[in-house]
Amino acid sequence: MARRQDEMVPEAGFRSYYGQPVIKPPIWHEPHMPAYLYLGGLSGAASVLAATAHLSGHERLGAASRMAAFVGASAGSVFLVTELGRPERFLNMLRLLKFTSPMSVGSWTLAAHGGLTAIAAAAAVTPLLPAPMVSRILPGCLGGRVLPFIGDASAMASAVTGPIMATYTAVLLADTAVPAWHEAYRELPFLFAGSALASAGAVGMLSTPRAEAAPARASAALGAVMETAAGIVMESRLGLEGEPYRRGKAGLLMKASRVLTLGGGLLAPIAGRSRALTALSGLAITAGALCTRFGLLEAGRTSAADPRYTVVPQRERAEARRLTVVPDPAAPPP
Amino acid sequence: MAERMGFFTDTSVCIGCKACEVACKEWNDVPDDGFVFRATSYDNTGSLGADTWRHVAFIEQDGRWLMSSDVCKHCTQAACLDVCPTGALFRTEFDTVVVQPDICNGCGYCVPACPYGVIDRRERDGRAWKCTMCYDRLRGGMEPACAKACPTDSIQFGPLDELRERAEARVERLHADGVLEARLYGESPDDGVGGDGAFFLLLDEPETYGLPPDPVVTTRDLPDMWRWAGGAALTLAGAVAVSFLRVSFPRVPFLQASFLRRR
Ligand code: SF4
Ligand code: SF4
């Protein structure tokens, strides 16, 4: 009988089936899934940057951001498709539009965003090509007047799909039973948006002449501050469920991301004329954004693999309800 | 729509014979999941997964054995079904939750979404698999293979309402017999998943059997999640707009940062 008593209150403070996980860990692979999260976010924020740059007359920054938005969306799609267990069936993603599935909403957003950014990028590179070549590919006035117009319209429209691209992935992670992800559903979108903005700013300032790069530098700094702030709030608000972000490999990645992102972000606006400092800042931000994504996946895996993170909060919830809802039959009536 | 069908697994009479595991594999042609000596108990299937649709848990306690045949809960509010982007997961006329293997593209989203850790991707063929409550047998008017094979009627199959009544009576009976630890798990339509289509009678806390004590379908919070994401998306757009503001500051050396200067 004594042993039964021990079992009731084991050292770890919770019980489980031989320490096995209760939920299944996310099966998404590295580098596919974190790479997609980075590229999708980059593309989303870059398209907003491109549209705003066009409106304010920063044409070089606008063109560079259009290219970044296009490359991010298309390279991201490749990672997304190869991540599937049955890549040849990727079009099944568009069989229906399901609002209860962030992945369905995301697939449609990506399809629209990918198309828009491709047109916008095509319009941006056409003027750089030799005129005879353009007129051979595009008939008549298409290259001269129509394409730039459609390109600008697409760039503006991608400023609507862009912010969704940069944030839906946070909902994608949060809408799972993984405690570290689900409990963080308030902060994750801000973390993703900040990181995406910093990434797009970094690419913008690396690929644009200094005279036009000021908004990109400002974006990089603002994004870095936003990501850091969201990360700090998240880790301080989450109790036990936030532990995977602080421990082990995920903890190292999240810390590296914090240092690189904030360091790079704060360096961005003051790097000024120095090419070397600008490059350092842009690369640090990019590395930081990648660390964030790999760290998030790793934290999710840890959080799912240890039954403690599933059982303890649920047990507390169940106990609290039992104590409040079910009145003690022995208690005198009020 | 036919009546809602379900399983009531009464673990108090389970003898751990694994007839259910075998019957399930035979009928559904579920591939080998490895014959592993786990060195913890008589359990060699470990947990539910793509190739294990019934899993008998063995818990050796002082003076007694706990044995329980676990299965997909066929949740009323099923997270796997909610998040499936292709519609491969669907709700049948029996109110069960089934994957259509010809549609699933192996995106893997259902896997971490399930609060019970049931569904998994079979890496050999890239698709998600789990218990179908023998959808084919049900359509043919037969009971699922596991329930049919169970020699002690630990696995009972039938209309869910009927099973719930039977389960209540069984718990009362056990309590009267002095088995005070008997309790139902997943029977209440008010729980975090709206009640399980496959529920259990347990003799200890659910977590002892590897079951979550208070599972919640996370899509419940989805509107709230989208609202926070919307806020973040607007903040992103706002931050970009702010980045393009050309603010002119008095010529304080400290504020000579290039992005603050009027061009
Ligand atoms: S237990 Fe898991 S796999 Fe089964 S219906 Fe519920 S959410 Fe889906
Ligand atoms: S793996 Fe298959 S069943 Fe699961 S969510 Fe993706 S498409 Fe649906």
Partners of B231 on chain A (C-beta within 8 Å) are: 189-190
What's the whole-model pTM score? Answer: 0.91
At A113, the pLDDT band (50, 70, 90 cuts) reads very high
Contact B34, B77 (CB under 8 A): no
Domain assignment present for residue B216? The answer is: no
pLDDT on residue B37: 83
pLDDT at B188: 96
For residue B127, what pLDDT is reported? 97
A17 and B CB contact within 8 Å: yes
A1 in a domain, yes or no? no
Q: What is the DSSP string of A79-123?
A: HHHHHSSSGGGGGGGGS---TT-HHHHHHHHHHHHHHHHHHHHHH
Same domain as B251, residue B187: no
**pLDDT, tens digit, for every residue of A188-197?**
999 999 999 9
Indicate which CATH number applies to the domain containing A105. Answer: 1.20.1630.10
User: Is A176 within a domain?
Assistant: yes
Of residues A13 and A1, more confidently modeled = A13
Report ipTM for this prediction.
Answer: 0.91
Residue of B nearest to A54 (CA): B244
Which residue in chain B has the smallest CA separation from A14?
Answer: B207
**Could you tell me if residue B94 is inside a domain?**
yes
Q: Do the chains contact at A100 and B47, CB–CB below 8 Å?
A: no
Q: Are residues B256 and B134 in the same domain?
A: no
For residue A327, pLDDT over 70 is answered with no
Q: Residue B255's pLDDT band (boundaries 50, 70, 90)?
A: very low
Domain that holds residue B89: 5-209
- Whose C-alpha lies nearest to ligand 1, atom 8? B80
pLDDT at A133 over 90: no
The yes-or-no verdict on residue B232 having pLDDT over 70 is yes
Residue A329 included in any domain: no
CA dihedral B135, B138, B144, B147 (to 10 degrees): 140
Q: Indicate the residue of B57, B128, B229 with minimum beta-carbon distance to A189.
A: B229
Q: Tens of pLDDT along B115-164?
A: 999 999 999 999 999 999 999 999 999 999 999 999 999 999 999 999 99
Q: Is A275 on the interface with B (CB under 8 A)?
A: no
Q: In which domain, by residue range, is A142 found?
A: 25-320
Distance from CA of A171 to the nearest CA of B (A): 6
Q: Is A326's pLDDT higher than 60?
A: no
Q: Please answer yes or no on whether A219 and B239 come within 8 Å at the CB atom.
A: yes
pLDDT confidence bin for A128, thresholds 50/70/90? confident
Distance of CA A84 to the CA centre of its chain: 19
Let me know if residue A326 belongs to a domain: no
Please tell me whether residues B157 and B186 are part of one structural domain: yes
Q: Say yes or no to pLDDT of B190 above 90.
A: yes
Claim to verify: residue B229 and residue B205 sit in the same structural domain: no
The verdict on B129 and B235 lying in the same domain is no
Q: Is residue A17 part of a domain?
A: no
Task: Tell me whether residues B258 and A217 touch, CB distance under 8 A.
Answer: yes
User: Cα(B145) to centroid of ligand 2, in Å?
Assistant: 25
At residue A4, does pLDDT exceed 90?
Answer: no
Alpha carbon separation from B74 to A3, A238, B35, B98, B195 (Å, rounded): 36, 31, 27, 9, 9
Which atom of ligand 1 sits closest to the CA of residue B72?
4
**Which residue of A lies nearest to B229 if distances are taken between CA atoms?**
A189
**A interface mutation test: which of B246, B259, B262, B263 has the most A CBs within 10 A?**
B259
Pocket of ligand 1, candidates B53, B76, B97: which has the most ligand atoms within 8 Å of its Cβ, to mutate? B97
Give the angle B214-B215-B217 at the CA atoms, nearest 5°. 145
* CATH code for position B54: 3.30.70.20
Report yes or no: A20 at the B interface, CB cutoff 8 Å: yes
CA-based nearest residue to A70, from A194, A221, A189, A207: A207
CA–CA–CA angle B52, B57, A17 (5° rounding): 110
- Domain tally for chain A? 1
Whether residue A72 has pLDDT greater than 70: yes
Q: Which of B85, B112, B127 has the CB atom closest to A176's CB atom?
A: B112
- Residue at B214 is within a domain: no
Same domain, B141 and B34: yes
Q: Residue for token digits 């709230």?
A: B224
Q: Is B113 in the pocket of ligand 2 (CB under 6 A)?
A: no
CA distance B256 to chain A (A): 8
At A150, the pLDDT band (50, 70, 90 cuts) reads very high
Q: What is the pLDDT of residues A154-166, one digit of tens each?
A: 999 999 999 999 9
Chain B residue with the nearest C-alpha to that of A321:
B214
Q: What residue's CA is closest to ligand 1, atom 6?
A: B75
Q: What is the pLDDT of residues B27-47, one digit of tens each?
A: 999 999 877 888 888 898 999
B58 within a domain of the structure (yes/no) = yes
Count of beta carbons in the 10 Å neighbourhood of residue B129: 21
Measured in Å, residue A86 CA sits from the centre of ligand 2 at: 10
B132-167 burial string, b = 16+ CB within 10 Å, else e? bbbbebbeeeebbbbbbbbeeebbbbeebeebbeeb
pLDDT-above-90 percentage for chain B: 87
Q: Is B62 close to A4, i.e. CB distance below 8 A?
A: yes
Cα dihedral value A141, A144, A148, A149, nearest 10: -40
Question: In terms of domains, do B158 and B253 share one?
Answer: no
Same domain, B230 and B177: no
- The pLDDT of residue B247: 57
Residue A328 belongs to some domain of the structure: no
Q: Does A45 touch chain B (CB under 8 A)?
A: yes
**B215 near B192, Cβ under 8 Å?**
yes
Q: Which residue of A has its CA nearest to B82?
A: A100
Give the model's pLDDT for residue A56.
94
Over range A323-328, report the average pLDDT: 56
Torsion of CA A123, A127, A129, A132, to 10 degrees: 110
**B127 in the same domain as B53:** yes
- Has residue A325 been placed in a domain? no
In this structure, the answer to whether residues B29 and B144 fall within a common structural domain is yes
Total tally of structural domains belonging to chain B: 2
Question: What is the overall mean pLDDT for chain B?
Answer: 93
Does one domain contain both B88 and B156?
yes
Percent of chain A with pLDDT over 70: 92
Which of B70, B208, B243 has the most A C-beta neighbours within 10 Å, making it the best mutation to test the interface with A? B243
**pLDDT tens per residue, range A205-230:** 999 999 899 999 999 999 999 999 99
Judge: B63–A269 Cβ closer than 8 Å, yes or no: no
Are residues B168 and B231 both part of a single domain?
no
Question: Are residues B105 and A28, on separate chains, in Cβ contact within 8 Å?
Answer: no
Query: Which of B180, B209, B238 is the last residue before a domain boundary?
Result: B209
- B217 within a domain of the structure (yes/no): no
